Amino acid sequence: MLDRYPDLDPDAGEVLTEELAVADDVLVKAFALGPGAELDTHDHPGSTNVFHVLAGEVVVVHEDDEELVDAPGVVFHERGSAHGARNESDEVAVFTASLCPLP
């Protein structure tokens, strides 16, 4: 099976994650945020991180900025930049995070 889209169904306030692809030079993880859930702000000093919003809407935190990103959407985080996400809607939000190179 080629399609790796995850079947994640989080409850309110819950963050579920699954590794979709792991290789020597890249990691792709899926995140499903239930209503009111938050992925805490963090950084990856040695990795570029790209969010792909696949379903719903996510408030993306990037350094000192925040922006509501609807699916489909793409957000680029340079190496070492602080980033996070939260779901302020009543629906599940799904996005992937691709890290290159591996942290």
Which sequence spans correspond to the domains of the chain? 15-100
Residue 23 confidence (pLDDT) above 90: yes
- pLDDT in the model for residue 2: 82
Mean pLDDT, to the nearest integer, of 69-87?
A: 97
pTM for the model stands at: 0.93
Helix H or strand E encompassing 12: none
- pLDDT in the model for residue 100: 94
CATH number assigned to the domain covering 15-100? 2.60.120.10
- pLDDT in the model for residue 102: 78
Residue 96 confidence (pLDDT) above 90: yes
DSSP conformation class of 24 = S
Q: Are 48 and 79 in contact (CB under 8 A)?
A: yes
